[in-house]
A and B are shown apart, each in its own frame.
Chain A
């Protein structure tokens, strides 16, 4: 019976949800898009404080037609956009989404977006639904 319970515990999605409950997101913000810009980007620090690796993917937002994880990579002087399927964080691992680097590209807003609003982004964390929210700002939040 004990063995069966252990087996069930392994099969149930609880550990997955637990792993994703230990995602720490801080310094989140969305750049206020200039008028005429058909998109903008979300930036944040994300840390996996759990003891299992996590895979984050399947980004979407109710306010935008497309949300994609992109990385701006410099190839000499040339800035290139690289699409990333997923963000993988080892236990204790962290990623910084920042201007000129990794970012969530938010394209084609359904309505004009201005500073003070809050954008929510849905994604999957090890297959379980997860969400983050980020305030719209003109500038990056001040460094702590």
Chain B
């Protein structure tokens, strides 16, 4: 009869060891630093998040956070007096939109937004004509300094007015293309030089990654 307590204490020991092992595993899983998946351009973990902003859209309507919610937005900043980087990048985005035309997510929820950092010279009408030359579905918007800051600051976008040799000015600016998810998280950033294939592949990989998180 002395074997019964011994057997139950062995059982209890096994239960205890098992409990410790499982707990340790759970603690390890919970405290483990999330790994950055190997997706070029992915901003993860802790992506920046856009809060509220309000810009004047080229179609007459406001472009604000609600126009981005529920959509996957490729966002680029520039200005129409920019003869090199801006048309070059919009031509790349035109190719991207063509490459993603059959992507189910882009087809349903994709959009391309160009934000002018030069509200002094760029009117909404002018920007509308400018972006629609590349793709009639592209959106364009601008706003005054504080309205632009509401978008540029969370993204870390720089804009600097610089005098040029002809007596006018140019705007040095961040030339990355951003990918914003339906919850306004900035999940992707693609740097120069831009190529359509890299951005299309990035869109597919990052939207696939972000849709489940």
CB-defined contacts of A105 to chain B, threshold 8 Å = 83-84
Tell me how far the C-beta of B98 lies from the nearest C-beta in chain A, rounded to whole angstroms: 13
Residue B130, interface by CB 8 Å: yes
Residue B154, interface by CB 8 Å: no
List 5 other contacts, CB 8 Å, given A34-B130, A66-B166.
A31-B83, A72-B85, A78-B172, A79-B175, A100-B84
Interface on A for B, CB 8 Å cutoff? Answer: 31, 33-41, 65-66, 68, 70, 72, 74-75, 77-81, 83, 99-100, 103, 105-107, 138-139
Work out how many contacts link A and B, with CB atoms closer than 8 A.
Answer: 93
CB-defined contacts of B125 to chain A, threshold 8 Å = 36
CB-defined contacts of B90 to chain A, threshold 8 Å = 34
A74:B84 contact, CB within 8 angstroms: no
The secondary-structure label for the interface of chain A is: strand
Tell me how far the C-beta of A125 lies from the nearest C-beta in chain B, rounded to whole angstroms: 20
The 8 Å CB contact of A68, one of B85, B165, B176, B191, is: B165
Q: Given A74-B192, A78-B172, A83-B165, do A39 and B130 touch, yes or no (CB 8 Å)?
A: no
CB-defined contacts of A100 to chain B, threshold 8 Å = 84-85, 88, 192-193
Residue B184, interface by CB 8 Å: no
Interface on B for A, CB 8 Å cutoff? Answer: 80-81, 83-85, 87-88, 90-91, 125-127, 129-131, 133-134, 158, 160, 162, 164-166, 168, 170, 172-176, 191-193
Task: Tell me the nearest residue of chain A to B92, going by C-beta.
Answer: A99
The 8 Å CB contact of B83, one of A78, A80, A103, is: A103
The 8 Å CB contact of A36, one of B126, B160, B172, is: B126
B170:A81 contact, CB within 8 angstroms: yes
Tell me how far the C-beta of A4 lies from the nearest C-beta in chain B, rounded to whole angstroms: 44
CB-defined contacts of B175 to chain A, threshold 8 Å = 74, 77-79
In the A-B complex, the 4 residue pairs with the closest CB atoms: A34-B133, A79-B175, A36-B126, A99-B88
The 8 Å CB contact of A70, one of B84, B87, B131, is: B84
B87:A77 contact, CB within 8 angstroms: no
What's the Cα separation between A81 and B84 when bound, in Å? 9
CB-defined contacts of B191 to chain A, threshold 8 Å = 77
Q: Given A66-B166, A79-B175, do A35 and B84 touch, yes or no (CB 8 Å)?
A: no
Tell me how far the C-beta of A143 lies from the nearest C-beta in chain B, rounded to whole angstroms: 13
Residue with the greatest number of chain B CB neighbours at <10 A, chosen from A37, A77, A79, A139: A79
